[in-house]
Amino acid sequence: MATEKITMPQLGESVTEGTISSWLVKAGDHVNKYDPIAEVMTDKVNAEVPSSFTGTIKEIVAAEGETLAVGELICYIETSSAGDMKATSDTANIETDSNESNEGVQLSDQSMKKRYSPAVLRLAQENNINLEQVVGTGRGGRITRKDLEKIISTGQIPTTSAPSAESNSTSEQEVVQSNTSKPSQVSSAPQPTSQVGDLEIPVTGVRKIIAQNMVRSKTEIPHAWMTVEVDVTDLVKYRNKIKTEFKQTEGYNLTYFAFFVKAVAQGLKKFPQLNSTWAGDKIIQRKDINLSIAVAKDQELFVPVIKHADEKSIKGIAREINELAQKARTNKLTADDMQGGTFTVNNTGSFGSVQSMGVINHPQAAILQVESIVKRPVIINDMFAARDMVNLCLSLDHRILDGLICGQFLAYVKESLENMNETTVQVY
């Protein structure tokens, strides 16, 4: 008999903390190794924590709703034998996806951010420094004594915020901080206060992450925009013709979106410049074409990835879209499903939107919004015709891309979509 600790697992690269959404066991329960013991919501994904040992749950330390850093204790387990210890305690670790290694470098490990040394705590107390707002230069994002001494000597001290606005403001300012890497420039704008009758919604979980990523993207990436109008009359005709039969034989819908994803994947193959990442002193052009697609669910937004989209048929893409959407709706997306995206295609048309300016999915180079297909009068050969029109709106990282290459890319996608009809398209 031995008492072992189960800690918050690392559920993906750049994931530093997780929130226990629910416990699946209680003290006294017997669990086998690899049995799920708790559900955890992290920045990227909802996941189950497997037990590292076979034994009896002795004490649950972390409460539901509590957010813990990776590696922090969540419960004690009494193992039945001393033999099956350790070895697998890190089974929940998920390998870093090679495509995102660069993101790893930029985001960097923040696991030590909240580990304060005695010197740091003393200096923070003596000078009334709010450590949440300090960017650490030490290993794992640790705030070093030197970091504080620098802040103190320059006199730009981020002080503790007013207690009323505390919990919400710190996390938001922390986001701004970690993005700008300038501890001194803390926004001094007053925090909005709520009136009687207003509803205050704490910013947590996925909402917090969306906020963080959007701020990061919009502050770091100089966005530029382009829109092309595509005539997809033939594609609509073709798809309408086969959709019923497809549904019957395959069991899921053949959406327009699958055709757009296919056209974009081919376009990226031809213009790999758009399939890249800004890495400070260099641009990394990705070999794999992994398309992130946005899937909305209630208050949440997930961005699962269709890997190697260029190698898949329209049917294969349609099936994967269907699967990923299902998983998102049932909270089954894994960290692996969400990693490795190199370009995002966003189906804004599903909301009826005809024009939008997407925020790039950091650290990608561009995002393409596929708008609603609308029947409109169009002049062809000096005659009015009723055509199915769609806008493709591209947001681009102007550090990496310029109008010329993006224009060529959009023209290519436009052309391939306009040429999709019964004779040219292979669904299978």
Q: Which CB, 122 or 241, lies closer to other proteins? A: 122
CB of 154 to other proteins, least distance (A): 16
| 43 part of the active site | no
DSSP H helix total and E strand total for the chain: 10, 19
Q: Is 122 helix (H, G, I), strand (E, B) or coil?
A: helix
CB 91 within 8 A of CB 11: no
Residue 110 tokens read as: 């923040």
Nearest approach in angstroms of CB 148 to other proteins is 9
> Which of 375, 427, 396, 428 shows the shortest CA–CA distance to 256?
427
Output the smallest distance, CB 187 to other proteins, in A: 29
Q: Note whether 366 and 410 are within 8 A (CB).
A: no
Measured from the CB atom, the residue of 150 and 297 that comes closer to other proteins is 150
Q: Residue 128 in 3-state DSSP? A: coil
- Residue 105 or 386 with smaller CB distance to other proteins: 105
CB of 121 to other proteins, least distance (A): 8
Q: Is 402 a catalytic residue?
A: yes
Q: Is the CB of 183 or the CB of 358 nearer to other proteins?
A: 183
Q: Exactly one of 109, 288, 308, 398 is catalytic; name it.
A: 398
Comparison of 135 and 235: residue with beta carbon closer to other proteins: 135
What's the CA gap between 405 and 201, in Å, rounded? 43
Q: Is the dihedral of CA 404, 406, 408, 410 positive or negative?
A: negative
State the angle between helix axes of 233-250 and 256-270 in degrees (0 to 180), rounded to the nearest 10: 110
Q: How far apart are CA 285 and CA 158, in angstroms?
A: 39
Binding site for other proteins (CB under 8 A): 117-122, 138-139, 142, 144-146
Do 37 and 52 contact (CB within 8 A), yes or no? no
Q: How far is CA 63 from the centre of its chain?
A: 26
CB 117, min distance to other proteins, A: 4
Q: How far apart are the first and last CA of the chain?
A: 57
Hey, which residues are catalytic here?
Answer: 398, 402
